[in-house]
Structure 1
Amino acid sequence: MGKVVLVTGAARQLGGRFVRRIQRDPEVERVIAVDANTPPHRLGSAEFVRTDIRQSAIARVLAEYAVDTVVHLAVTGGGGAGGAGSAVKETNVIGTMQLLGACQKSPTVRRLVVKSSTSVYGAAPRDPAVFSETTQPKSLPALGFAKDAVEVEGYVRGFARRRPDVAVCVLRFANILGPFADSALAEYFSMPVMPTVLGYDPRLQFVHEDDVLDVLRLAAGEPRRGTLNSGTFNIAGDGVLLLSQCSRRLGRPTIALPLPALTWVGSALKAVGVTDFSPEQTRLLTHGRVVETSQMREVLGFKPMYTTAETFADFARSRGNGLLPPERAARAVDRVAGALKVDVAVAGTGSGAGSAAEEGAQR
């Protein structure tokens, strides 16, 4: 008998791609895709069950299909402007509580994989340069998706204590980017002009959506020799990028605003539905966040195919040229530098001729 895998959040882009990917695993016999909404994309041979994980019906799904592996991808930061944010928060927190309660009662569940985020570390001026999985944040996130992720991880730790026979793997992803990225940060990077915080140039890390799918598949499978598919792991591509580097590589100009002004602009953009410019994202764009990934490599046994820079380059290609394409900006810089060299050379020649004239006059 092969594995029976249940995937939550199947209607979202990432969830749908993972459902199609996990079907190719030879160990998997059946995939059950769950969401409260009908997916707008294909799910391959997976069986779709329309159910809300905030309701107790999820327990019947686990029992009916004798699920042994649960991959929880319904913890998201989506919702955008308007009233959808409260529903997303309920799905993140209440939905996770219902799902874990169902898993606790299920005699067949043996593996749980939870998609979390490095946003659990927060973003504050006194933060360490690099976070490890055991680093305690200086101040816990008080709002938004980051707060939801902290609460979700707390419930998951409680479940792991009550069901020590279940292998539990929590994956804290850095900002996910790629050609199909649909996050609030992807929307920010797609703006024609990017507002930034005056006086700050934060360090950022990214993980490619293809690497996200690969590590989820690894965590949902049987551990390979010398690895352990349980625990909490930071997942990010190697290296960092400054926000200023990101804007140049996108060819998008920035406008530096004082922090209070940026907060007001973010609220206005969110109100009109342009982008979900949350206080959490404002803090990230002020202080940045970098995590250490040795546990990902040495314990989980995963090495991303894409670095942070390569991830961003792939994302940038999918968004097309901005107002200031990098090639055009480079040519402009070269022309300015060439003109400056000519001016310096002319000035040097003129000063040399003047010196010679003065020396002749003195003679």
Structure 2
Amino acid sequence: MGKVVLVTGVARQLGGRFVRRIQRDPDVDRVVAVDAVPPEHHLGGADFVQADIRQATIARVLAEHSVDTVVHMDVTATALGGRGGGRGAVKETNVIGTMQLLGACQKSPTVKRLVVKSSTSVYGSAPKDPAVFTESTPPKSLPSGGFAKDIVEVEGYVRGFARRRPDVAVCVLRFANILGPAAESPLAEYFSLPVLPTVFGYDPRLQFVHEDDAVEVLRLGSHEPERSTLNSGTFNIAGDGQLLLSQCSRRLGRPTVPVLLPAVTWVGSALRTVGMSDFSPEQIRLLTHGRVVATRQMRETLGFRPKYTTAEAFADFVRSRGPGLLPPSALAGAVDRIAALPLAGGNQSAN
């Protein structure tokens, strides 16, 4: 008998891609795809189960299918159409959903491996951060809210589960910002704007991982549950190299609007008003101070080498977007709102 793999968050594009990919592995007998809403994309030969991981019914799903490998991908920064509830529902799914899933895994005698899709957001973004974060580097200040705080809580629950079930191999993958043609994230929305608001006087360093590489490293992390010392632990996942925000804007061909730091939150409110982006405080900190992580453990312990560098992942994203994503009226309205804000940078610069 091959492995029975349960995957959460399959209604999202990345979850759907992973489900289709893992089915091709010769040691996988069956894939159980779980989400609270039916996916709009196909899942191949996977068994789709409509279930909300925030509910205790997830334990029954594990038991009925004798699941031995769980890949938890339903940890995200953005709401999914059809779920409703906005940020509150996202936080509940991230935190409460993870708690329920881990509780079900703890009671399951068949689960032998757990893979969790996490994020480098766990390190935060602060002015006195180290140049490069390793997996053991503590953040200078813990995130106070948003997706980053969710990730901190999620990883805390995962560590508790690992202590209670030492027989289960646990692999936590901390992804840098995932980009690609089908990317779904606040940063992808930001880079899709025709004009990019930036923080005056800052040019942060950024890292990306291509969605193809994200699928492959998740697949690698789900392998060989019988060997608990292999592919277990916490790993930073990012493409080689880094890009400055100014380099990103030039490669996108998008002009920038430098804004003084005190006015940035007002800019975010204006952008949300016209439906352009979720310009959250967490994203503002990233676009102010940046974040770079070391990937030595990814290569030497996990044995994964990304196909795409940071620059190549961004280039593929750029090709998929192209110019003129928003109608002129929406763009003009947003620019007028930004220009009317006090303390906004008066000069618009095209990089």
TM-score, with length taken from structure 1: 0.86
Match of 1:122 in 2: 124
Q: Give aligned pairs, total.
A: 322
Tell me what 1:53 maps to: 53
Pick one of 300, 303, 320 that aligns with 1:301: 303
**Which residue identity lines up with residue 101 of structure 1 in the other structure?**
G
Q: Which is worse superposed, 14-23 or 78-87?
A: 78-87
Secondary structure, counterpart of 1:85 in structure 2:
helix
CA distance in 2, matches of 1:128, 1:63: 44
| Matched residue, 2:284 | 282
Is the CA contact 1:130–1:290 (under 8 Å) kept in the aligned structure 2? yes
Task: Return 5+ residue gaps in structure 2 as ranges.
Answer: 326-351
- Asked if the contact 2:193/2:276 (under 8 Å) is kept, the reply is no
Q: Give the one of 185, 196, 202 matched to 1:200.
A: 202
Q: Aligned in 2, Cα 1:10/1:222: closer, same or farther, shift over 3 Å?
A: same
Q: In the TM superposition, what is the alpha-carbon distance from 1:84 to its structure 2 partner?
A: 1.1
C-alpha RMSD over aligned residues: 1.7
Give, as a single letter, the amino acid of the residue that structure 1 aligns with 2:278. Answer: D
SS of residue paired to 1:40 = coil
Give the AA of the match of 1:280.
E
Equivalent pairs: percent with the same residue? 79
- Scaled by the length of structure 2, the TM-score of the pair is 0.89
Amino acid at match of 2:130: P
Contact 1:188 1:275 in 2 (8 A): yes
Residue of structure 2 in register with 1:39 after alignment: 39
Give the Å deviation of 1:272.
3.9
Q: Distance in 1 between matches of 2:18 and 2:272?
A: 29
Shift of 1:121: 0.2
Look up the match of 2:319: 317
Tell me how far 1:79 sits from its aligned partner.
2.1
> Does the CA-based 8 Å contact 1:35-1:49 persist in structure 2?
yes
Q: Which moved more, 1:257-266 or 1:162-171?
A: 257-266
One-letter identity of the residue aligned with 2:151: A
The Cα of 1:276 is off from its aligned counterpart by: 0.9
Aligned partners of 2:85 and 2:256: how far apart in 1?
30
CA distance in 2, matches of 1:228, 1:290: 26
Structure 1 counterpart of 2:3: 3
Letter of the 2:288 partner, please give it: T
Identify the range of structure 1 (282-291 vs 267-276) with the bigger mean alpha-carbon deviation. Answer: 267-276
CA contact (8 A) 2:4 2:32 kept: yes
Q: Which runs of 5+ in 1 are unaligned?
A: 324-363
Letter in 2 for 1:246: C
Structure 1 residue 140 and structure 2 residue 142: aligned? yes
Q: Distance in 2 between matches of 1:154 and 1:57?
A: 23
Q: Does structure 1 conserve the Cα–Cα contact (< 8 Å) formed by 2:70 and 2:114? A: yes
The aligned amino acid for 1:61 is V
Return the alpha-carbon distance in structure 2 between the equivalents of residues 162 and 188 of structure 1. Answer: 40
Evaluate the alpha carbon distance shift between residue 175 and residue 224 of structure 1 in structure 2; reply closer, same or farther with a 3 A threshold.
Answer: farther
The 2-side partners of 1:287 and 1:240 are apart by: 14
> SS of the residue aligned with 1:125?
coil
Which structure has greater helix proportion? 1
Question: What pairs with 1:37-186 in structure 2 (closer than 5 Å)?
Answer: 37-79=37-79, 83-186=85-188
Local SS of the residue matching 2:279: coil
Question: Which structure has the bigger radius of gyration?
Answer: 1
**Using the alignment, how far apart are the partners of 2:274 and 2:67 within structure 1?**
42
Supply the distance in 2 between the matched residues of 1:112 and 1:257 (Cα, whole angstroms): 43
Match of 2:17 in 1: 17
What SS does structure 2 have at the residue aligned with 1:33? Answer: strand
